[in-house]
């Protein structure tokens, strides 16, 4: 195809331009725009590993909290994760249900804070169950009395305790209730642009459905982000004694002090009487041996501590 226009075609083009009927310069398929729209209001600070492991902990919380509250309220209580999302702290505030009770939670030992909200209908209906009333009729939102605040604090602490137990294995952290109030200054927890992981949990009490929300700002878990994601980058030997090591450290072990051991025939044992001398065949200067179960761990010298017998460790078995 010849792309060069002859004089007649050029003249026709100018005539068409005068009447506004210029043909398309390129009639084939156009290249799509390479610019892509990006929503900067949705942060990506929480990785897939963070979200998956936190969601798994929430599932454990739902099971434990439902079991505990069902026993305490003597009514059917169920918790189920509705959805999780990652937004800014300001956007997370807009997702909270109306008439919700804000609960400020402190993450120990970090000292950082997160926010939980519980719909007041769930709290008031649960209080009715705690007082021996019926939970079949949902309580309408009202102004909390002093008794309501006292009982709601007990209910909230029971829920947070189950949440703490579920999150403990993630990063060796625990949750503590700092404040329960009608209104709270959310900006004191995180800045408006702070990446926040939002978990919405449905709470079903008897036949009533309400919502519990958990807002975890990134600043709250930043010091242990690698632990929560399952990526502990510290070399072996510098890791703390959490998990199995801490559990084994609390196991009881029987310690005994043994002067010496000697095998005797049954006839000699039966012939023992007061005043009989048994030669053990060990030097008196060797002291006694300390055993953990059946393993010798140290040498010690016998003595007393007040009116009680005691031994003083002289050397470990490896050194001796």
Q: Dump pLDDT digits (tens) for 58-87.
A: 999 999 999 999 998 888 899 999 999 999
pLDDT tens per residue, range 138-170: 788 788 888 888 888 999 999 999 999 988 878
What is the crossing angle of helices 48-73 and 120-130, to 10°?
A: 30
What value does the mean pLDDT take over residues 220-244? 67
Query: Is the predicted pLDDT of residue 237 greater than 50, yes or no?
Result: no
What value does the mean pLDDT take over residues 271-291? 84
Q: What is the assigned CATH class of domain 48-232?
A: alpha beta
Sort 166 into a burial class: Cβ within 10 Å, 0-12 / 13-18 / 19+. Answer: buried
Give the closest residue to 117 by CA, choosing from 128, 105, 131, 101: 101
Cα-flanking dihedrals φ and ψ of residue 165, to 5°? -65, -35
Q: What is the assigned CATH class of domain 247-316?
A: mainly beta
Q: For residue 16, give both structure tokens.
A: 């068409």
Q: For residue 226, give both structure tokens.
A: 């690698």
How far apart are alpha carbons 91 and 94 in whole angstroms?
5
Beta carbons within 8 Å of 149's beta carbon, 6+ residues apart: 180
Look at 110-119, 126-135, 181-190, 191-200 and tell me which has the smallest mean pLDDT: 181-190
Q: Kindly report whether the peptide bond that precedes residue 109 is cis, defined as omega within 30 degrees of 0.
A: yes
How far apart are alpha carbons 69 and 5 in whole angstroms?
86
pLDDT band at 236 (very low <50, low <70, confident <90, very high): very low
* DSSP symbol at 139: P
pLDDT band at 3 (very low <50, low <70, confident <90, very high): low
How far apart are alpha carbons 53 and 59 in whole angstroms?
10
Looking at every residue in the chain, the average pLDDT score rounds to 81
Query: Is the predicted pLDDT of residue 279 greater than 50, yes or no?
Result: yes
Burial letters 242-272, b for 16+ CB under 10 A, else e: eeeeeeeeeeeeeeeeeeeeeeeeeeeeeee
In this predicted model, which residue has the larger pLDDT, 245 or 202?
Answer: 202
Query: Is the predicted pLDDT of residue 288 greater than 70, yes or no?
Result: yes
What value does the mean pLDDT take over residues 249-254? 78
Query: Is the predicted pLDDT of residue 281 greater than 80, yes or no?
Result: no
Give the closest residue to 292 by CA, choosing from 251, 264, 262, 245: 251
Query: Is the predicted pLDDT of residue 302 greater than 50, yes or no?
Result: yes
Percent of all residues in the chain with a pLDDT value above 70, rounded to a whole number: 82
Sort 306 into a burial class: Cβ within 10 Å, 0-12 / 13-18 / 19+. Answer: exposed
What value does the mean pLDDT take over residues 282-303? 84
pLDDT band at 320 (very low <50, low <70, confident <90, very high): very low
In this predicted model, which residue has the larger pLDDT, 62 or 248?
Answer: 62
Look at 142-151, 176-185, 236-245, 263-272 and tell me which has the smallest mean pLDDT: 236-245
Residues of the chain with CATH 3.40.1550.10: 48-232
pLDDT band at 272 (very low <50, low <70, confident <90, very high): confident
Residues of the chain with CATH 2.30.330.10: 247-316
Per residue, what are the HEC states of 221-256?
Answer: HHHHHHHHCCCCCCCCCCCCCCCHHHHHHCCCCCEE
Query: Is the predicted pLDDT of residue 207 greater than 50, yes or no?
Result: yes
Give the closest residue to 89 by CA, choosing from 189, 186, 198, 193: 193
In this predicted model, which residue has the larger pLDDT, 20 or 270?
Answer: 270
């Amino acid at each position: 195809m010849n792309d060069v226009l002859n004089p007649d075609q050029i003249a026709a083009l100018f005539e068409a331009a005068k009447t506004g009927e210029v043909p398309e310069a390129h009639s084939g398929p156009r290249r799509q725009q390479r610019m892509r729209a990006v929503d900067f209001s949705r942060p990506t600070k929480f990785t897939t590993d963070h979200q998956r492991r936190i969601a798994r902990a929430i599932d454990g919380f739902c099971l434990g909290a439902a079991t505990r509250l069902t026993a305490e309220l003597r009514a059917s209580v169920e918790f189920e994760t509705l959805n999780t999302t990652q937004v800014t702290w300001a956007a997370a505030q807009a997702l909270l249900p109306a008439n919700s009770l804000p609960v400020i939670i402190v993450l120990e030992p970090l000292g950082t804070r997160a926010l939980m909200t519980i719909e007041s209908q769930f709290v008031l209906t649960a209080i009715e169950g705690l007082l021996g009333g019926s939970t079949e009729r949902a309580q309408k939102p009202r102004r909390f009395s002093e008794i309501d605040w006292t009982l709601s604090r007990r209910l909230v602490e029971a829920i947070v305790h189950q949440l703490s137990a579920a999150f403990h294995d993630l990063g060796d952290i625990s949750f503590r209730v700092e404040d329960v109030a009608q209104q709270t200054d959310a900006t004191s927890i995180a800045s408006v642009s702070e990446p926040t992981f939002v978990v919405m949990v449905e709470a079903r009490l008897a036949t009533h459905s309400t919502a519990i929300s958990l807002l975890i700002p990134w600043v709250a878990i930043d010091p242990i982000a690698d632990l929560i994601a399952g990526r502990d980058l510290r070399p072996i030997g510098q890791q703390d004694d959490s998990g199995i090591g801490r559990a084994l450290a609390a196991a009881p072990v029987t310690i005994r002090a043994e002067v010496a051991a000697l095998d005797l025939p049954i006839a000699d044992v039966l012939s023992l009487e007061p005043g009989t001398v048994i030669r053990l065949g060990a030097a008196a200067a060797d002291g006694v041996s300390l055993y953990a179960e059946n393993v010798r761990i140290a040498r010690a010298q016998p003595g007393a501590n007040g009116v009680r017998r005691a031994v003083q460790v002289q050397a470990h078995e490896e050194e001796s």
